[in-house]
Amino acid sequence: MNIRPMQAGDFSAFWPVFQAIIQAQESYAYDPQLTEDQARALWCELPQETWLAEEDGVVLGSYFIKPNAAGPGAHVCNCGYMVAPAARGKGVASALCAHSQQRGRALGFLAMQFNAVVASNTVAVALWKKLGFAEVGRVPGAYRHRSLGLVDCLIMHKWLQAPEADKPLTASAPLIARKNIEAVVSRKRKKN
Protein backbone atom coordinates (compact mmCIF):
# COMPACT_ATOMS: atom_id res chain seq x y z
CA MET A 1 0.00 0.00 0.00
CA ASN A 2 1.36 3.38 -1.03
CA ILE A 3 0.06 6.60 0.60
CA ARG A 4 0.79 9.72 -1.43
CA PRO A 5 -0.63 13.25 -1.86
CA MET A 6 -3.84 13.25 -3.88
CA GLN A 7 -3.61 15.40 -7.01
CA ALA A 8 -6.60 17.12 -8.63
CA GLY A 9 -6.44 14.59 -11.46
CA ASP A 10 -6.72 11.69 -8.99
CA PHE A 11 -10.21 12.53 -7.81
CA SER A 12 -12.09 10.88 -10.68
CA ALA A 13 -10.62 7.51 -9.70
CA PHE A 14 -11.73 8.07 -6.09
CA TRP A 15 -15.17 9.50 -6.92
CA PRO A 16 -16.99 6.10 -7.17
CA VAL A 17 -15.82 5.33 -3.61
CA PHE A 18 -16.89 8.77 -2.36
CA GLN A 19 -20.26 8.53 -4.08
CA ALA A 20 -21.01 5.04 -2.76
CA ILE A 21 -20.23 6.20 0.79
CA ILE A 22 -22.33 9.38 0.75
CA GLN A 23 -25.23 7.64 -0.96
CA ALA A 24 -25.24 4.90 1.69
CA GLN A 25 -26.00 7.60 4.31
CA GLU A 26 -24.51 5.52 7.09
CA SER A 27 -21.36 7.39 8.02
CA TYR A 28 -20.90 10.88 6.47
CA ALA A 29 -22.98 14.03 6.95
CA TYR A 30 -22.50 15.08 3.32
CA ASP A 31 -25.37 15.80 0.97
CA PRO A 32 -25.90 12.48 -0.89
CA GLN A 33 -26.69 14.49 -4.06
CA LEU A 34 -23.23 16.13 -4.30
CA THR A 35 -21.81 16.27 -7.80
CA GLU A 36 -18.26 15.14 -8.56
CA ASP A 37 -17.10 18.78 -8.76
CA GLN A 38 -18.66 19.64 -5.40
CA ALA A 39 -17.19 16.52 -3.82
CA ARG A 40 -13.72 17.33 -5.21
CA ALA A 41 -13.97 20.82 -3.72
CA LEU A 42 -15.01 19.46 -0.34
CA TRP A 43 -12.43 16.68 -0.19
CA CYS A 44 -9.44 18.20 -2.03
CA GLU A 45 -9.74 22.02 -1.97
CA LEU A 46 -11.21 22.97 1.43
CA PRO A 47 -8.78 20.84 3.49
CA GLN A 48 -5.15 21.63 4.16
CA GLU A 49 -3.90 18.33 2.66
CA THR A 50 -5.50 15.29 1.01
CA TRP A 51 -3.79 11.88 0.74
CA LEU A 52 -4.53 8.80 -1.34
CA ALA A 53 -3.84 5.12 -0.57
CA GLU A 54 -3.33 2.87 -3.59
CA GLU A 55 -1.93 -0.50 -4.53
CA ASP A 56 -1.03 -1.56 -8.07
CA GLY A 57 -2.80 1.54 -9.40
CA VAL A 58 -6.06 0.72 -7.57
CA VAL A 59 -7.50 3.32 -5.17
CA LEU A 60 -7.89 1.84 -1.67
CA GLY A 61 -8.92 4.96 0.20
CA SER A 62 -8.20 8.57 1.04
CA TYR A 63 -8.13 11.06 3.88
CA PHE A 64 -8.00 14.82 4.39
CA ILE A 65 -6.53 16.89 7.22
CA LYS A 66 -7.49 20.46 8.13
CA PRO A 67 -7.72 22.73 11.16
CA ASN A 68 -10.92 21.91 13.06
CA ALA A 69 -11.49 25.61 13.76
CA ALA A 70 -9.81 28.97 13.13
CA GLY A 71 -7.80 31.32 15.33
CA PRO A 72 -7.83 30.12 18.96
CA GLY A 73 -9.09 26.69 17.81
CA ALA A 74 -6.56 26.15 15.02
CA HIS A 75 -4.20 23.96 17.07
CA VAL A 76 -6.65 21.05 16.75
CA CYS A 77 -6.91 19.24 13.44
CA ASN A 78 -9.77 17.31 11.94
CA CYS A 79 -9.60 14.42 9.46
CA GLY A 80 -12.02 12.45 7.31
CA TYR A 81 -11.26 8.96 5.97
CA MET A 82 -12.89 6.90 3.25
CA VAL A 83 -12.01 3.31 2.31
CA ALA A 84 -13.13 1.62 -0.90
CA PRO A 85 -15.80 -1.00 -0.14
CA ALA A 86 -13.70 -3.64 -1.95
CA ALA A 87 -10.66 -2.82 0.22
CA ARG A 88 -12.29 -3.15 3.64
CA GLY A 89 -10.86 -5.38 6.33
CA LYS A 90 -7.30 -4.95 5.07
CA GLY A 91 -6.14 -2.32 7.54
CA VAL A 92 -6.48 0.60 5.13
CA ALA A 93 -8.36 2.86 7.59
CA SER A 94 -5.83 2.06 10.29
CA ALA A 95 -2.91 2.88 7.97
CA LEU A 96 -4.56 6.13 6.83
CA CYS A 97 -5.24 7.19 10.42
CA ALA A 98 -1.67 6.44 11.52
CA HIS A 99 -0.40 8.45 8.54
CA SER A 100 -2.73 11.36 9.34
CA GLN A 101 -1.49 11.51 12.93
CA GLN A 102 2.09 11.79 11.65
CA ARG A 103 1.02 14.56 9.27
CA GLY A 104 -0.88 16.30 12.07
CA ARG A 105 2.24 16.38 14.24
CA ALA A 106 4.40 17.50 11.32
CA LEU A 107 1.98 20.37 10.62
CA GLY A 108 2.20 21.47 14.26
CA PHE A 109 -1.24 20.40 15.47
CA LEU A 110 -1.51 19.48 19.15
CA ALA A 111 -4.55 17.25 18.90
CA MET A 112 -6.99 15.59 16.51
CA GLN A 113 -10.77 15.78 16.83
CA PHE A 114 -13.57 13.92 15.03
CA ASN A 115 -16.82 15.86 15.25
CA ALA A 116 -19.39 13.32 14.18
CA VAL A 117 -18.52 9.63 14.31
CA VAL A 118 -21.84 7.90 13.68
CA ALA A 119 -22.40 5.71 16.75
CA SER A 120 -23.95 2.87 14.74
CA ASN A 121 -20.70 2.63 12.74
CA THR A 122 -19.29 0.30 15.39
CA VAL A 123 -16.34 -0.83 13.28
CA ALA A 124 -15.10 2.77 13.00
CA VAL A 125 -15.73 3.56 16.67
CA ALA A 126 -13.80 0.45 17.76
CA LEU A 127 -10.93 1.26 15.41
CA TRP A 128 -10.57 4.87 16.58
CA LYS A 129 -10.57 3.68 20.21
CA LYS A 130 -7.93 1.08 19.42
CA LEU A 131 -5.84 3.85 17.82
CA GLY A 132 -5.99 5.94 21.00
CA PHE A 133 -8.99 8.21 20.49
CA ALA A 134 -11.23 8.91 23.49
CA GLU A 135 -14.97 9.40 23.27
CA VAL A 136 -15.38 12.93 24.69
CA GLY A 137 -18.99 13.56 23.69
CA ARG A 138 -22.19 12.05 22.34
CA VAL A 139 -24.81 14.13 20.53
CA PRO A 140 -28.23 12.45 20.61
CA GLY A 141 -29.88 11.73 17.27
CA ALA A 142 -27.55 13.97 15.29
CA TYR A 143 -27.34 11.66 12.27
CA ARG A 144 -30.22 10.48 10.10
CA HIS A 145 -29.09 6.96 9.19
CA ARG A 146 -30.74 5.68 6.02
CA SER A 147 -32.12 2.52 7.62
CA LEU A 148 -31.85 3.11 11.40
CA GLY A 149 -33.31 6.64 11.54
CA LEU A 150 -31.84 9.13 14.01
CA VAL A 151 -28.67 7.81 15.64
CA ASP A 152 -26.14 9.46 17.96
CA CYS A 153 -22.88 11.04 16.86
CA LEU A 154 -19.72 10.72 18.92
CA ILE A 155 -17.04 13.35 19.36
CA MET A 156 -13.64 11.68 19.58
CA HIS A 157 -10.29 13.20 20.50
CA LYS A 158 -6.61 12.33 20.70
CA TRP A 159 -3.64 14.41 21.78
CA LEU A 160 -0.92 14.26 19.12
CA GLN A 161 1.64 15.99 21.32
CA ALA A 162 1.75 16.61 25.04
CA PRO A 163 -0.17 19.87 25.64
CA GLU A 164 3.03 21.07 27.32
CA ALA A 165 4.62 21.03 23.84
CA ASP A 166 2.35 23.95 22.97
CA LYS A 167 4.08 26.43 20.68
CA PRO A 168 3.10 29.14 18.21
CA LEU A 169 1.16 27.76 15.25
CA THR A 170 2.60 27.46 11.79
CA ALA A 171 1.32 30.29 9.64
CA SER A 172 -0.53 27.92 7.32
CA ALA A 173 -3.30 26.78 9.66
CA PRO A 174 -5.21 30.04 10.13
CA LEU A 175 -4.67 30.87 6.46
CA ILE A 176 -6.54 27.75 5.41
CA ALA A 177 -9.62 28.80 7.35
CA ARG A 178 -9.35 32.30 5.91
CA LYS A 179 -9.21 30.88 2.37
CA ASN A 180 -12.78 29.56 2.64
CA ILE A 181 -14.12 32.88 3.80
CA GLU A 182 -12.38 34.63 0.95
CA ALA A 183 -14.00 32.23 -1.50
CA VAL A 184 -17.41 33.35 -0.26
CA VAL A 185 -16.48 37.01 -0.31
CA SER A 186 -15.22 36.67 -3.86
CA ARG A 187 -18.39 34.85 -4.93
CA LYS A 188 -20.60 37.51 -3.35
CA ARG A 189 -18.68 40.32 -5.07
CA LYS A 190 -19.02 38.64 -8.42
CA LYS A 191 -22.79 38.42 -7.87
CA ASN A 192 -23.18 42.12 -7.03
Under the binding rule (CB under 8 A), the answer on residue 167 touching a copy of itself is no
Residue-wise over 65-80: b if at least 16 C-beta within 10 A, else e?
bbbbeeeeebbbbbbb
Under the binding rule (CB under 8 A), the answer on residue 157 touching a copy of itself is yes
Smallest distance, Å, CB 74 to a copy of itself?
Answer: 8
Under the binding rule (CB under 8 A), the answer on residue 19 touching a copy of itself is no
Element (H, E) at 158: strand 149-159
Taking the C-alpha atoms of residue 114 and residue 79, their distance in angstroms, rounded to an integer, is 7
Q: Are 146 and 29 in contact (CB under 8 A)?
A: no
Under the binding rule (CB under 8 A), the answer on residue 145 touching a copy of itself is yes
Residue whose CB is less far from a copy of itself, 32 or 85: 32
Under the binding rule (CB under 8 A), the answer on residue 70 touching a copy of itself is yes
Out of 48, 68, 101, 121, the residue judged to bind a copy of itself by CB under 8 A: 68
Residues numbered 78 to 107 that lie near a copy of itself (CB under 8 A) are none
| 3-class secondary-structure state, position 7 | coil
* Dihedral sign computed on CA atoms, order 167, 169, 117, 19: negative
Q: Which residues pair with 63 in a beta bridge?
A: 51, 81
Residue whose CB is less far from a copy of itself, 60 or 108: 108
Out of 32, 98, 106, 130, the residue judged to bind a copy of itself by CB under 8 A: 32
Under the binding rule (CB under 8 A), the answer on residue 143 touching a copy of itself is yes
Question: In sequence order, what are the residues at sequence separation of 6 or more whose Cβ sits closer than 8 angstroms to the Cβ of residue 83?
Answer: 17, 60, 61, 92, 93, 96
Under the binding rule (CB under 8 A), the answer on residue 128 touching a copy of itself is no
Sort residue 137 into left (φ over 0), alpha (ψ -120 to 50) or beta.
beta
Binding-site ranges for a copy of itself (CB under 8 A): 22, 25, 28-34, 37-38, 40-42, 45-46, 68-76, 110-111, 113, 115-116, 136-146, 149-150, 153, 155, 157, 159, 163, 166, 174, 177-178, 180-188, 190
